[in-house]
Amino acid sequence: MSSYQKNGEVTNGGGSTPPPSNGGLLGGWKKYAVGAALVAILATVYMVESGPNPKATKEAIEKEMTASDLTFDKNGKLKLFDSLNRFVLEDYDVKSTFSSMLPAIAGYFGKPVWAFYVNRGQAMATFGTESKDYPILEFNSANKAYQLTPYVGFRTFVRGTRGSGSSFETEPFSPETSRNLASEKDQNLKPKRILYVGTNEFEIADIDAVNGLTTNVQYYILPEEDFGALVRRTKFTNTGSSPLKLEALDGLAKMEPYGGALDWGLKEMGRTLEGWMGVYHVNDKLTMPFYKLSTEPTDSASVKIEEAGHYCVSFIEDDTVQSDLLPIVFDTTKVFGGDTSLGEPRGLFTSSVGEIVANPQYGWAKTSSAFAAIDGIEIQPGESVTVATVFGKADHEEQVPTIASRVTVPGYIKKKYERTRAITNDLSASVETTTVNPLFDGTVRQMYLDNGLRGGFPTILGNVDNDLNYDEDEGVKVYHTFSRIHGDLERDYNAFHIAPTFFSQGPGNYRDIAQNRRNDVTFNPRMGSFDVKQFLSYIQADGYEPLTVEAMVYLYEDHDLAREVANKITNDAKSAEVLGNVLTGGAFRPGQLFALVEQLNIHPSVNREDFLNAILAGATDRAMAVYGQGYWADHWDYYIDMIDAYLEIYPDGEEDLMYDSELFYFFSTATVKPRAQKYVLTLTYDAKGHHVQQLDSTFFDQGKATEQENFRNANTGILSTEAIWQRTKEGVPFTSSPIAKLFLLGSIKYAMRDAWGMGVEYEGGRPGWLDSMNGLPGMVGSGMPETYELKLLLQYVKKVVSTYKRDIVVPAELGIMINKVNDALETLVAAKVSEPEDLDDIEVPQPFFDYWNTTASAREEYRASCEYYFSGKTTTFTAHEVKTMISNWLEQIDLGIERSFKVATKGYGDDGSSGIPASFFAFDITKWEINGYKSDVGLPCVNALSMKVRKFPLFLEGPVRYMKTVDKDTSLDIYNRVMDSGLRDTVLQMYFLSASLKGQTYDMGRQVSFAPGWLENQSIWMHMSYKYYLQLIRNGLYEQFFAEYKGGGILPFMDPDVYGRSLMECSSFIASSAFPDPSIVGEGFLPRLSGSTAEFMDIWKNMFMGKNLFSLDKDGNLQMKFTPVLPSWLFEDDDTNAVDPIFDDNGNHTVKFKLFGSIPVTYHNPGGKSLYAVSPSSYKITKLDGTVMVDGPYVPADTAILIRKMKMITSIDAYFD
C-alpha cells in the first residue's frame, strides 16, 4: 500500500523548525486524489527543501528508545533484553521472516485462546479458540501469513494535529514505511520498529520521530477468567514538544464470525460462506458488535441456529473510573472503500472517523472489520493514551455486556497484563537459574516453558496438603496442563487442539509426550512413578503403542463414595444430587467437570481448588490414548530414559515399581499384518521390472472394533474408558507387572531384528524417530537406533532380575513365542556360520535367513493368538532363566552391531570407511514365491525366500544412539570421527541430520524430495543435534561439550542476526550450509515446540545437579550428592551479554538454581574454576527449624529424605574446594 507517513512537526525537542501546514494536495487523506507519481515527486521536493534533519531525527529516536528502558552495549549495539527481561529484536519487520506464538496459558482457572504471530506488520497473524478450525482472525500457513498479516490483520490509521496547525496522517507499522537496511541512504526519517518477545506476551513499537508519535502495541491472552480473550493494548505517546490531537481507527481489518468449524469453508468456499455472515449488536451504540453466522452452514434437513459469536469491545484505559466503550467500525467498505486488497483506507480519504461512526454501516453477507474508533483525544507532550481492545468468543450475545463491564473496571487490563507475565514466570521458576549470563539464564526458563507446552506441566491434585507422592498415597493425582500437539504457522501439517476450559490441555503425539515428560519427576518428585506407569500401560500385546496421548481421565468406581463426596462439597441437596450423577456418570477431566458445574447450576460449598481436590482424591485415574494411524518404530525407545530419570530420584523405589504393581495392555483397533500379507510384488519405479515392497502393514481390525462396542454407553453414545484395555474372553482386563511388560517388549523387539541380525525391522508400516524416512518400511527397512535402545532395554531387565532375583510372569502366549525364539537361536548357534569379512552385495546366509524366518513366524503366531483376547493363562520364568536368555540375546545383538560396522554406510563421498555407526538398512528380496494373498489394491503378495542388504548414507541418529551404549573412550573416538565426517557442517560448526543425500532414490522417504539443507535433508535438526550434545556430557566429554556449546551449537550462543529469531527459542531445524541460498543459511525454522527442549532440560540437569542425585549407600540408606558439570564462564565471563560475577561474603564465585522447583541451591566456588563432575566438600542446609552442616560429598538419609519431600528445607549451600 502507499505510505501514510506524512511530514509533520519535528520532535527532537524543538531544535528544528516545524514545516508549514500542508493543506490541499499534501494535506490529509485527500493527497491520494492525485496520481501516485506526482505525490512522490512533490514529497521528494518537499523533503529536500524543508524536511526534518536526519541527524536530529536519529537523536530523537535514540532518546525515545532509552526512555523505553532499552539499553546499548559498549559497542553501541542495542542489548538483547529490556528491563522486563524480554528478548529485543530491532527492525523486526525487515529482518528474515519468522513465526512464533503466545503459549495459550491462561492459568489453571482460565480459558485460553490460541494466537500466532509473525515479524511483519502488527505481528498478530491469527488467533482463535480450540483449534485452527475456529479462528477469529483466519489461520494461514506461514508463507501466506508473512504476506497477509500487514493487510488483513491489525491496522492503525492515525490523523494527528498539532497546536501549531500542522497535521499528519500515518499508519504505524505499515510496510510502506519500513526501513531498508540494505540501502546506503539514511533511514532515520522512517520509523524505528522493535519487537519485544516475552514468555506470555509480546509487544511491538513504532517510533516515529518525524511526527512525534510512538505507537506501542501489546498482546496477551486474558488470564484466569471464565471467558477466553485476546487483549490488545495500543498506546499512543506524544513525543513531540506540543499537544497532539488524534483521531484514529485501531483494530482488525478482517474479523471472522463464529459458526462452527469454519477454517475449511473460509478457504474452499469463502464467498458462499459470506451469505451466512452478519454483525449483530447488543445495543444501538455500535460498541458491542457480535459476529456470527445466522445458522450453521450445512446442507442438511436439520438446521441449527447459531447462538455463539465473536465479540470485540474497546475502550481507553483509565486507572480511576470505569471506561466507556468506544464505537466499533465493522463495515470494511467504510474504511477501505473500493480497495478490496485492503491496501489503502480509501474510506478515510473523504471522511473523518466521526463521520464514519455517525453514518450507517452494513455487516451482512460479507467479511467485516473490527476497528475501535478514537475521535478527538488530546495528548500532552510526553503523555500517553492507551486503547484496550478485547476479542473473544461468547456462547450467547447476552454475555457480552457482562464481559464488557468486567474488562472496563479501572486498572483491570493492566493488572491482567501483570498477571499473565507472572503465570509463566511462576511456571518457569522451577528452573530459575542465576549465573553471570542472563541470556543463558533466560534460555533455561524458556526451554522449560516450551518443554512443558509440548509435554504438559505436571500438576499435583487431590491430596495436596500432605508430603506423600503418587506411589505412597492413592489420593495424590497428577494432571498435565497446557500441552498440545505442536501445530503452528510453520508446522501447518499438525492439527493442534487447545481445550477452551479450566485446566486446559490438548492431545499430543506419543513420541513427543514420552520424550518431553521424561524429567517430570526431576522437577516434581511428588509425581513418583506416575509417568513410567502411564507409558508402560500403553504397551500393547503386539509390542506397539498408540499414536496420540490424551489427558488423564477420572472416574468413580465406588458410587457410594462419589455421592458422599458430592454431599460434602455442595451447598444444597439438589446440587449434591446433580454432582453425584456427574461423578457416577462416567469419566471426566477437570475442565469438563467445571463446565458441567456451570451448565448444571451446581453450587459448591468450597472454593474451586478445594472442590476439585476433594473430588479427585477419591477418584480413580485412567490413562487415555488413541490409536491414530500406523505404528511408529521408536515409541518404546524412550522408556529407559524415563525409568532412569525416576531412579535418579527414587533409587529405593525400583523393586516396588517393577514388581509390585499391575498395568493394563492398550487395545488398538489396528492389527499388524503378517509378512505373507504385506510383502507385495510391485513394478519397479522405472516400470522395467518387479520388486517386493512391504506395504499396507496394518489394517483396521473390525473384530477389535466390535469388541470395543461392548463398552459403548447406551445413554451418552460414548465409548467408556474400559474399551481401550485388552481383556480375556471372560471380560477381565489382563494385567502384568512393569518388569513383565518390559520383558515382553524386549522379547518382541528381539524377534523383530532383520535377517542379518543388525537393525530392528520397521514392520509396522512406520519408521522410527526420523519419520521423514517414510519410505523405509516399504523397502523392508530396519533401524540400528532401535537396536541400540533394545540393548539398553534388555540390559536393564537383566539388571533388575539379577538384583532382586524374582520371577517374571508373562502371558502364556508370549511364553510360547519365547521358547520358539530360543529354540531357533540354538539351531543358529549350532550351525556355526562362517561369515565373510566383506558383506557387500551378498545374500543373507541360509542359516541366518532361516533363523529370521522362524523368529518372525513365531512373532506372527504369537500376535495372532492374542489378537483379540488373552487366554488369561500365564507362564513364569525364573530370574535365572530370564538372565540366561537375555545374556544369549545380548550376545546376538552385539554380533549384529559388529556386523553393522562391516556393512557400514554408502553415500555421496562416503565409501563406508568412516567407522561411524550406520543408522538404517533395507533389504532387497531377491527370490520369492507368490502365496495367494492380495494387497489392498489387488497386487499379489509373496513369501520371501532370500534377500540381501542395502546401505544408506550417514545419519546423525546412528552415532547418537550408539553412544548411549558405550564408554567414554569409545564415545571420544566416535566424536572425533563424526567431526571429520560428512555429518559436520564446517561452515556453521554444527552437525547435519544426515550426510549428503545426493544420488539417493526417492523411495527412501520424503526428505530426499526436499532441497539440501532444508527440513530433514542434510539440515541442522536441532533435536537430534541436542541429543548428540547430551551424549557428550553424559559420557564425560566435558571439554568437547562446552566447546560445542559456546561455539554456537546450542542456544543462546548463536548470532541473533543469523538465527533470525529469539535466541531463547528453539527451532526444529536450521538451514545448513548445504542450502542453495546462502542468505538463508543459519536461520531457524519451525518454532519452539521442538523435542530439543527435552534434551536441553536433560543437559541442564546434568550441568547443575549431575548424575545420580540420589543413591543408596552400602547399607541401602538413601543419600544425596551434587556432581555438577559447570564451566568457568558461568561464574565469570567477558562476554558482552555477561554481568559481573556474583560473590558470596567470603569472595567466592557463586551460581544459583532451583532444586525441584522449590529449594534454592547456591554453589560456592573459590576462583570460579570449572567444576567438571566435582562434588561439594560440605553443605549448609537451612531448615525451618535450624541449620544442618554436612561434611563430605554426601547428604545423609534423614536430611536427604526431607530434601526429596521438599519438606522443611528452605535453602542449600554447597561448598567446593
Tens-place pLDDT, residues 529-558: 999 999 999 999 999 999 999 999 999 999
127 and 219 Cβ atoms separated by less than 8 Å: no
Q: Which pLDDT score, from 0 to 100, does residue 298 have?
A: 87
In tens, the pLDDT along 725-779 reads 999 999 999 999 999 999 999 999 999 999 999 999 999 999 999 999 999 999 9
629-685 pLDDT, tens per residue? 889 999 999 999 999 999 999 999 999 999 999 999 999 999 999 999 999 999 988
Domain positions in the chain are 24-423, 953-1090, 1105-1215
- Nine cell digits for residue 643: 525409568
Pairing of strands 457-462, 476-481: antiparallel
Q: What is the pLDDT of residue 345?
A: 96
| Mean pLDDT to the nearest integer, 1199-1217 | 98
pLDDT tens digits, one per residue of 166-179 = 899 999 999 999 99
**The whole model's pTM is what?**
0.94
Q: What are phi and psi of 194, to 5 degrees?
A: -140, 140
Percent of the chain with pLDDT over 70: 95
For residues 966 and 968, what is the distance between their CA atoms, to the nearest angstrom?
7
* Average pLDDT rounded to a whole number, residues 949-957: 98
> At 890, phi and psi to the nearest 5?
-65, -35
d(CA 129, CA 114): 6
Whether pLDDT at 1088 is above 80: yes
Residue 305: alpha-carbon gap to chain centroid: 37
Q: What is the rounded CA–CA span in Å between residue 321 and residue 660?
A: 63
CA distance 1011 to 1074: 9
Using the predicted structure, report yes or no on whether residue 36 has a pLDDT greater than 70.
no
Q: What per-residue confidence (pLDDT) applies to 52?
A: 64
Give the type of residue at 865.
S
Is the pLDDT at 802 greater than 60? The verdict is yes
3-state SS class at 864: helix
All three cell numbers of 247: 483521531
- Per-residue model confidence as pLDDT tens digits over 847-889: 999 999 999 999 999 999 999 999 999 999 999 999 999 999 9
Of 973, 1095, 964, 969, the residue nearest 1027 (C-alpha): 1095
Q: What is the DSSP letter of 576?
A: H
Question: Would you say residue 60 has pLDDT above 50?
Answer: yes
Question: Does position 30 have pLDDT exceeding 90, yes or no?
Answer: no
Question: Cα separations (Å) of 1050 from 371, 1027, 1045, 1046?
Answer: 43, 11, 5, 7
For residue 438, name the pLDDT band (cuts at 50, 70, 90): very high
What percentage of the chain has pLDDT greater than the value 90? Answer: 88
State the pLDDT at residue 4.
Answer: 34
Of 63-67, 308-312, 960-964, minimum mean pLDDT range: 63-67
pLDDT-derived band at 217 (thresholds 50, 70, 90) equals: very high
861: left (phi over 0), alpha (psi -120 to 50) or beta: alpha
Please name the helix (run of DSSP H) or strand (run of DSSP E) that holds residue 1149, with its range, or none: strand 1149-1155
701-718 average pLDDT score: 90
User: Distance (Å, rounded) from C-alpha 467 to C-alpha 1204?
Assistant: 10
Amino acid letter for position 283: N
pLDDT at residue number 1199: 98
Residue 28 has pLDDT above 60, yes or no: no
What are the tens digits of pLDDT across the range 973-1032? 999 999 999 999 999 999 999 999 999 999 999 999 999 999 999 999 999 999 999 999
As a whole number, mean pLDDT of residues 516-536 equals 98
Cell numbers standing for residue 379: 495528548
| Region 24-423: CATH code | 2.70.98.40
pLDDT tens column, 1106-1163: 999 999 999 999 999 999 999 999 999 988 889 999 999 999 999 999 999 999 999 9
Strands 328-329 and 368-379: antiparallel
pLDDT at residue number 715: 78
What distance in Å separates the CA atoms of residue 12 and residue 14, rounded to the nearest whole number?
A: 6
**pLDDT tens across 912-922, in order?**
999 999 999 99
pLDDT by residue (tens digit) across 90-108? Answer: 999 999 999 999 999 999 9
pLDDT for the residue 51: 54
- Whether residue 287 contacts residue 313, with contact meaning beta carbons closer than 8 Å, is answered with yes
**What does DSSP say about strands 1159-1165 and 1209-1215: parallel, antiparallel, or unpaired?**
parallel
Q: What is the average pLDDT value for the chain, to the nearest integer?
A: 93
